[in-house]
Amino acid sequence: MASPLLPPVMHSKESSTPFRARQARLRALMETRRVPAVLVTHLPNIRYLTGFTGSAGILWMGPRVGNLWVDPRYTLQAREQSDGVEVFEEKGGILKGAATWLKKNGVNAASFEASNLTYAQFQHLHNEAGDSLQLTPGEGLIEELRIVKDRGEIEAIRKAGKVTAEVFSDLLPQIRPGLIEQDLAAEIEFRMRKKGAEGAAFETIVASGPRSAYPHARPSAKALQECELVIFDLGAILNGYAADMTRTVFLGEPTRRVRSLYSAVLKSQEGAIRSIHDSTPTGEIDSVARRILAKQRLGKYFTHSTGHGVGLEIHEKPRLGKGETTCLKSGSVVTVEPGIYMEGFGGLRIEDTVLVGSEGPEILTPASKEHWVIS
């Protein structure tokens, strides 16, 4: 039985659980790519494969068995949460424990997560395991698997998206000049938790006036003023899964210029979302968004990529950027977030988290984009 102290576990110890299914998919991919074993140190990947949510652990995925090394703080939790792997408690350091086991069992080849393991850890592992162990930088196999979400993951992101959209929609009628950016960000994060989220998936952005021209502004002590654009970028995290949404509002009667800028960004975002289908290359979605803005001579103000995958991490594969060839698949969840940023004037961005369904795109952050003028 799950302890009330631990995050919910989405499995039972049966033969086919999401975690065992993911492990099987990984092993199939390992076989295709001729990867003998994977040493997993990136925690979201460990969670994805085993269900273990602790803040330290090393996972070894061999062709038939999987081992998870944890320190004594996490032994009980790992035994309760993890599925399909054997848990080892290591009092003398998990890296050393893993290396000793690999040496003792004659393992001579494994790939490791080069973008995660530090050089010091790599050396430590190498020294402990001995020269017979060949460690090769990995190709991001687990990240590749995570591009297609299973049913449980989609449900978790759907819930996170619903909370995110509701929090913004509830707050919208209360947004007015005089409120402080930091207070609004705090209020958003408080309301997410009140609605059952574990928290914010990233630092909430509330950026007003000229500050909205910074794509990744941190909320400041600035007060919202009349006739300003305000960007809200928020996302709840629920059962470990994130959502990501941006809305831009205008405080007061917008000028013709502001109206036409908003309509251009909205058209770009909606056009890009409509282009999403099973097997669309992500670079194609990016060019749809870019083309629509370029037609309005706004292309040069769109300075970042169109979107990113979202799931256990707020930014994960695939990237929706120029020239990207990864194809979306039914079950992928990505953001679509074109924006334009003009120094001294302000910025506008509209972002949704979108599920690639077999029948087309589905928006998982259903907050209105119509009510953007606050008079």
Give residues in contact with Zn ion (CB under 5 A). Answer: 233, 244, 246, 335, 351
Write down the least CB distance from residue 260 to Zn ion, Å: 24
Token match 């003398």: residue?
92
Least Å from the CB of residue 248 to Zn ion: 12
Whether residue 52 contacts residue 82, with contact meaning beta carbons closer than 8 Å, is answered with: yes
Q: Among 191, 37, 179, 16, which residue's Cα sits nearest to residue 102?
A: 37
Give CA angle at 160 (192, 58), nearest 5°. Answer: 105
C-beta closer to Zn ion: residue 143 or 233: 233
d(CA 97, CA 161): 40
Q: How far is the CB of 202 from Zn ion (least distance, A)?
A: 7
Nearest CA among 309, 243, 332, 312 for reference residue 44 = 312
CB-nearer residue toward Zn ion: 217 or 224: 217
Half-sphere exposure of residue 166: CA atoms within 13 angstroms, side-chain side: 15
48 touches 68 (CB < 8 A): no
For 85-122, the DSSP string reads SEEEE-TT-HHHHHHHHHHHTT--EEEE-TTTS-HHHH
**Total residue count of the chain as it appears in this document:** 375
Please report the sign of the dihedral spanned by the C-alpha atoms of residue 298, residue 300, residue 303, residue 308. Answer: positive
* Shortest Å distance, C-beta 352 to Zn ion: 10
Nearer to Zn ion, 181 or 233 (CB): 233
**Residue with Cβ nearer Zn ion (81 or 306):** 306
Q: Which residue, 90 or 337, has its beta carbon nearer to Zn ion?
A: 337
**Helix or strand or coil: residue 197?**
coil
Minimum CB separation from Zn ion for residue 228, in Å?
20
Q: How far is the CB of 288 from Zn ion (least distance, A)?
A: 17
Cβ of residue 94: shortest distance to Zn ion, in angstroms? Answer: 33
In the complex with Zn ion, which residue's Cβ is closer, 19 or 168? 168
Closer to Zn ion by Cβ: residue 244 or 313: 244
Distance CA 346, CA 241 (A): 31
